[in-house]
Structure 1
């Protein structure tokens, strides 16, 4: 049965209902409503205990649809093709550290003083800031006087978010992206638009450019905060029947996920595997000794066979790695677990990835974010986001003895697909 098309009034009613639900939840928890000058960590934006993610996604979905219907297709496309000017203005703000010069906590600064500090023409700086102010990424409180909003201040306070924004603007806004159709259909990472632009595949480029590699590591941490919740992984651990044990984080990079899990699960220990210890060493400096006593590093290339593990290991988990690789490379990675699983058949492998939802099963905004990452991976590594069936196909192609024993899907797109050797 075809769902009736939304109308202006039906969308408005949906918006009202969902807004009331959010206000009721905030009131129950004695939380004030957010404003554009709110703290960057307002509970509505950051606190998962409010359990409002689905409601928020549906509200944004309805509000976006209402905006599109009211504005019409011409205005919609005008905003789309003009959005690169917004990104260019934002890039200037970050590269010239404009936002860093504006005081925090609502304190204002004049254009003349700001221009002098960042050595930019005040008149041109004003034009860029006024463009961004229309997106609430700054506020002009009076003519020529600006201050932060929550949406600009966060780019000063949150170094991981800033690293992600800078990485996308500097490293991944590639002319080659627009020529993607010219490239072969094969999925080898060395054929990516990123490689054609910079002359080197994605990971090799960051290894050869360590200052950009540090920014890349920081950028991955904010992705975990934004839309790569560990909730499905925590759910597996809590329902595994093991009150304690060790998990091996394959391709764990900086170890930020293992460290976060260690905070939540005091009876568990973790091993972070990666080809280089550099990112882990830098990130772990911020962790206390009690936490580091339960999180260790082990050098390993996940294209090589997994070593046999100690008795306390309950599972390996590979998180947000496979979407960086084409199908053939993913099969190679998954195949490396077979020898260790033969030695420890009671252990599991957990694929913790964003799972592309079936059409119509999640709010459009959630699906849009997944599809954005899908295109980003096409550009960066000639890889892709995958559906549950895609992952099942990869697992069986890697080894016919593998079987999927459990799939955990929670609100949002991150999930866990658990497989073992068939008994």
Structure 2
């Protein structure tokens, strides 16, 4: 082969390892899903100290014949940064190797307020992984999304008619909102809501973020605005209520509109339509009028390669599930000005995502 003659054998082997690593990357995701479903993070957390492999095996809900395979699962979790090894000392001076949680696996505990466990289980559901197998077919047909290629209908229609998927989606969005609300309310994002009298959370789901905002700012009247089947049966509070409707038709009037992880689900043309409805909703004389967007702003400078890769993976997920995309600042700017807004401010204070304040 010309390639063998032209390249150093070491470089070829490194290239092979790189290819294989990408081929098998899905095993990382599925190993993590398996660990979550078996309850490994919760078992280690509840143990209260480094947990040895025999102790972990004895606590797992597995068939006895599978005990010998647990080490191999744990090993990949350690390599992936979801478990760490730590020595355990006993009174007999015996030292054994145990396992503890990392910051990443602490975010996967079942009953913790900021757990992203529901998001993981939602994204790795076969309903959402199957469309990824249709990517090449989708590029060769006229279907709007790989999800439609796989299932025959749009994701939103699928969720509206499948209670399990609808519930899983709402739980995933709520779990993500828990983390974001903690960062926004207790961090630098708090000032974004100061001085507002009314706020509409468009696409706010079950109201996790809006509830946190309403609780923190007692004077602020909050509305969670989402599709009727999403908000059906949800109960509000003194300064929070739920309203069903269609953001493409009309949005309740307010000082400010909140769009968290909403616009990335839609095409540029659809986003401009939504933003124009937002502009109509804040068209009063309030000096605090603005649209608050919490979404990805793709980095164009390679300051953090890992962050950029995650943003690009999010973008591919949007391409698979919806007509949407993740956008860089230039692409966001084009949307804002096309919808008739005059100015904006981007605050990169949420890791992968930023807070964007858009002014009429």
TM-score range (shorter-chain normalised) is 0.7 to 0.9
Give the equivalent residue in structure 2 for 1:293. 238
Give per-residue Cα distances to partners, 1:124-144, cap 9 Å, x unaligned: 333323332333434677999
> 1:184 deviation in Å?
5.3
Please report the TM-score for the alignment, with normalisation by the length of structure 2: 0.75
* 1:119 aligned to which of 60, 63, 67: 63
Question: Does the 8 Å CA contact 1:253/1:280 hold for their aligned counterparts?
Answer: no
| Stretches of structure 1 lacking an aligned partner (at least 5 in a row) | 1-70, 286-291
Q: In the aligned structure 1, how far is the partner of 2:274 from the partner of 2:26?
A: 37
Give 1:303 shift.
1.4
Deviation at 1:352, TM superposition (A): 0.6
Q: Is the 8 A contact 1:163 1:219 kept in 2?
A: yes
Match of 1:372 in 2: 313
In structure 1, what is the equivalent of residue 77 of structure 2?
A: 132
The structure-2 alpha-carbon separation of the partners of 1:184 and 1:263, relative to structure 1 and needing over 3 Å to count, comes to: same
Partners of 2:190 and 2:233 in 1: CA distance: 24
Q: 1:163 aligns with which of 115, 118, 133?
A: 118
What RMSD, in angstroms, separates the aligned Cα atoms of the two structures?
3.7
CA distance in 2, matches of 1:278, 1:295: 16
From 273, 276, 288, the equivalent of 2:225 is: 273
Q: How does 1:296-307 map to 2 (within 5 A)?
A: 296-307=241-252
- SS at structure 2 position matched to 1:409: strand
Q: CA deviation at 1:333?
A: 1.8
Q: Distance in 2 between matches of 1:84 and 1:199?
A: 25
- How far apart are residue 164 of structure 1 and its match? 1.0
2:294 equivalent among 353, 357, 373? 353
Higher mean C-alpha deviation, range 137-146 or range 245-254: 137-146
Residue-by-residue CA offset, 1:94-140 (whole Å, 9 max, x unaligned): 3344555554312555365345x333621233332333233343467
Shift of 1:350: 0.8
Is 1:80 the counterpart of 2:32? The answer is no
Q: How much does 1:273 deviate? A: 1.0
Q: Is the 8 A contact 1:232 1:414 kept in 2?
A: no
Q: Secondary structure at the match of 2:118?
A: helix
Q: What are the ranges of 5 or more consecutive residues in structure 2 without an aligned counterpart?
A: 1-12, 89-94
| CA-CA distance at 1:343 after TM superposition | 5.9
Which deviates further from its counterpart, 327-336 or 92-101? Answer: 92-101
Cα pair 2:84 2:101 within 8 Å, conserved: yes
In the superposition, the TM-score normalised over structure 1's length comes to: 0.65
